[in-house]
A and B are shown apart, each in its own frame.
Chain A
Amino acid sequence: MSSTNTGEAIAPTQKTIIITRFDPDKDEVPRKQEYSVPCEDNWKVLDAVNFIKDELDATVSHRWSCRMAVCGSCGMMVNGEPKLTCKTSLKEYGDRVDIEPLANFPIVRDLVVELDGFMHKFEAVKPWIKRAKEKAEDKAALHDTKLTFSQSAEELGNFKQFSMCINCMLCYSACPVVANEPDFLGPAAIALGHRYNMDSRDEGNAERNEIFRGEGTVFSCSFANECSEVCPKNVDPAAAVNQAKFEAVIDWAKGLVLPSPSSGGSN
């Protein structure tokens, strides 16, 4: 058993934590500020930032909430790598730890980045169960327990992994294509669309494939696989994106052969 729950507490180690600061009303460009923090042995990176906020400098702004790696709000660059700070041990780093806002995102303030661009992409892939004939027309049926869908373990397995995304956006910070192609839908959003495409309950593939071939095209991805390397939840977005390419190509080829059936309603 580890020393975190048995035995004596260990004396803290002093570390230099470097935080990127940016206040749009005061700073022209982001700058760096150093803090000396007494770090406890079992601290996560987030604990150090919280310590600074509570005890050293209350003007540091960052997002966090659950501290159990599930709400997705605490993503930051730690020594140049995107990390979920509530899940990353501070011990893994040396005396100087450089904490920056997530790469590839506009910086709102300090460690807080602009999320609306992501939310827009997220919404663009129509992340909801779409039925050719909406059950919703018959509300009573929708409510009936007898009318829940049946789904085999295998059908669930086809998309389960891709439904585990916590929207922490580390993958966007790691992807070299995101850094250079602003339109690219990006790993998490494509994984989400693909998650619905793979769900046996969904019938919206054609529509989403069209989106996947559209402006933010899945084909922009060059299979760098960095997204999957940094993903803290093993979503494997690279798999999703590249499977989505496959599906989008097949769907496209079908469209060439068969005259396209109307691509369904609006949403």
Chain B
Amino acid sequence: MKTLLLKLEPLIWFMFGQGILIGTILLTGWILVVGVLMPLGIVDPANLDYTRAHELATASLFGVIPLGQLILAALLVLPLWKGAHHIRSLLVDFGGGERDGIVGGLLYLVAIVGSGMGIAAVVGL
């Protein structure tokens, strides 16, 4: 497992890095509006009813580039990698170096499954 991880490390690190950078940049507005302001009623949830939400999500640039779906895909997938990788390093810091192969492997498996689910959902819009 450890050897496999070692081979994939550059890719993992790339996804993780984008998770921090792009993930954070995209998540902030999402969490703010959908997770906080609308549930609290500060912004009317009606502004994001199904029709509008679907329209936004499938909006495209010049009719060819599916911008909405691309943004959503990044928003769904990248944070998972940031999360998995950071949990792994947190565990290592608290003495989990020995089991790093297995634990890391499991965490990335979660990220992979999540990524698959996220992309399927986005494609299915």
Contact = CB atoms under 8 A, between A and B. Distances in A.
B13 to A, nearest CB: 5
A118 interface: no
Contacts of A245: 13
A248 B100 contact: no
B13 A180 contact: no
B19 to A, nearest CB: 13
Q: Dominant SS at the B interface?
A: helix
Which 10 pairs of residues, A with B, have the shortest CB-CB distance? A180-B97, A222-B89, A252-B10, A219-B9, A176-B93, A249-B10, A219-B13, A181-B97, A180-B92, A217-B9
Q: Dominant SS at the A interface?
A: helix
Interface string B1-37: 0000010011011100000000000000000000000
A160 interface: no
Contacts of B93: 176-177, 179-180, 222
Interface of A: 176-177, 179-182, 213-215, 217, 219-220, 222, 245, 248-249, 252-253
A215 B101 CA distance: 13
A249 B14 CA distance: 7
A217 B96 CA distance: 17
A219 B92 CA distance: 13
Contacts of A182: 97
B41 interface: no
Contacts of B100: 181
